[in-house]
Amino acid sequence: MKKNILSSVAIAAVAALSLASCNKSQPQVEAKSESKAPAELKIAYVEVDSIMTQYTFAKEYAALLEKKGQKWHIHGYVSLFGSIALMAFYTVVTGWIVYYFVRFLTGNIQDLGFSSMITNPGVNVTYLAVTVAMAFGVLCFGLQSGLERVTKYMMLLLLLLMLVLAVHSFTLDGAAEGLRFYLVPDLSRITGSVVVGAMNQAFFTLSVGMGGMAIFGSYIEKEHSLMGESVHIIVLDTLVAVLAGIIMFPACFTYGLEVNAGPSLLFDTMATVFNNMTGGRWWGTLFFLFMVFAALSTVLGVCENILAMVRELTGLSRPKGALLCGVGIFLLALTTALGYSVLHFQPFAAGTAWLDLWDFIVSNNILPLGSLVLALFCCNSFGWGWDAFVQEANTGKGLKVQPWMKPIFRFVVPAAIAFIYIYGMATFAWN
């Protein structure tokens, strides 16, 4: 796995909460049709019951924003495909989190390990099925409201627990060495590939370019400007990222774990930390419980969007549509669940698997290209247009988009995104 897909688990969960918290009451989709979009974010809290099946991203492009004869709405369908590709591996990742929660809850943590988990087809298929069943069961029976009220508090508790774990990290024997490795920059390591990797991770964390930020933006009341809320997201995302690093790197140097272990870092590091803490079993149970709610919230948001499109195209009832989508997502995600045991497939360099292919489609293609489309659409006369964009962005109190920013939004941002994409493709480890 070339990229730490799980490094932004806590980051996006809490970052998205800042936007959700702006929703002082249950949002009414019918009254805000101009800002509807599909739900999608990395692991993040989203009030799915407020965005039920009344819309699709593509429809809103065509009906509200694009001029007659334009084809910008095609991006909406690409975003839908991106949501399906995301669920092809993200349901499996959520299943891993559920598995770790169950192991900590039952106290069966002696031989717990990431490598042994992903190579066990029974574990992967079982917990994938559990995840898909929970998600589409909730969507089928309309249980979102209760679940999401609980999730709102779970995310706050997750942030509090991260603060406790960060403080605990300072007491570890390897704290000084780990923090030095984490916080002292080594400029010689900053290359083009590193910059591109960081930008792709940012796209993935916030789901910029695939509809995620659009739906969270629709929650913001008219009293808040978009620029101001963007700063809040940047600050909170960075804060949680720093906390995650403070938790993990001292533990790595204390217990001899590889700092570049990839996706296993979250699971193996946190399991080791909890196994060496007083009452660690229960701390670990709480941590992975909060993560389950965070992950399931994202799965619900993305799957609701997929379900809405399928129902619109087929005319199926919600239960039948949920069953069809659930079976489809489960079968597609089997590629990832069995990709490290039965379905041996190396799409790129040695050691890659199906997960890397799905991640490549989403992170390296749909997200940056979608961001480029949105940048061009919002700020140019052949799209939505600068004046309309500024009027919407500057509504409410807070930081405003200034006239001098126009060249940056129109030229610098698209050029930077295009460079990131082209350079990323040119330097990608294809074999």
Q: Sketch the domain layout of the chain as residue ranges.
A: 5-427
Q: State the pLDDT at residue 18.
A: 34
Three-state SS string over 408-427 comes to: HHHHHHHHHHHHHHHHHHHH
**Range 350-373 average pLDDT:** 91
The confidence band for 87, taking pLDDT boundaries of 50, 70 and 90, is very high
Report the C-alpha gap between 413 and 230 in whole angstroms.
Answer: 15
Nearest alpha-carbon partner for 16 in 158, 112, 187, 141: 158
**DSSP per-residue string spanning 73-87:** THHHHHHHHHHHHHH
The confidence band for 406, taking pLDDT boundaries of 50, 70 and 90, is very high
Q: Which fold has domain 5-427?
A: Amino acid/polyamine transporter I (1.20.1740)
CA distance from start to end of the chain: 13
**DSSP per-residue string spanning 86-152:** HHHHHHHHHHHHHHHHHHHHHT--TT--HHHHHT-HHHHHHHHHHHHHHHHHHHHHT-HHHHHHHHH
291 and 101 in contact (C-beta within 8 Å)?
yes
Report the C-alpha gap between 266 and 96 in whole angstroms.
Answer: 11
CA torsion 19-40-59-380 (nearest 10°) is 70
Residue 176 makes CB contacts below 8 A (sequence gap 6+) with none
pTM: 0.79
Digit-coded pLDDT (tens) for 185-233: 888 888 888 888 888 888 887 778 887 666 556 656 788 888 888 888 8
* Neighbour count for residue 80 (Cβ, 10 Å): 23
The answer, yes or no, to whether residue 30 has pLDDT greater than 60, is: no
Report the C-alpha gap between 109 and 369 in whole angstroms.
Answer: 42
Q: State the pLDDT at residue 384.
A: 86
The answer, yes or no, to whether residue 2 has pLDDT greater than 60, is: no
Q: What is the C-alpha radius of gyration for the chain, rounded to an integer number of angstroms?
A: 21
The answer, yes or no, to whether residue 90 has pLDDT greater than 90, is: yes
Tell me which of 257 and 214 has the higher pLDDT.
Answer: 257
Provide the residue type at 131 as one letter: T
Digit-coded pLDDT (tens) for 372-403: 998 998 888 888 889 988 998 898 888 999 99
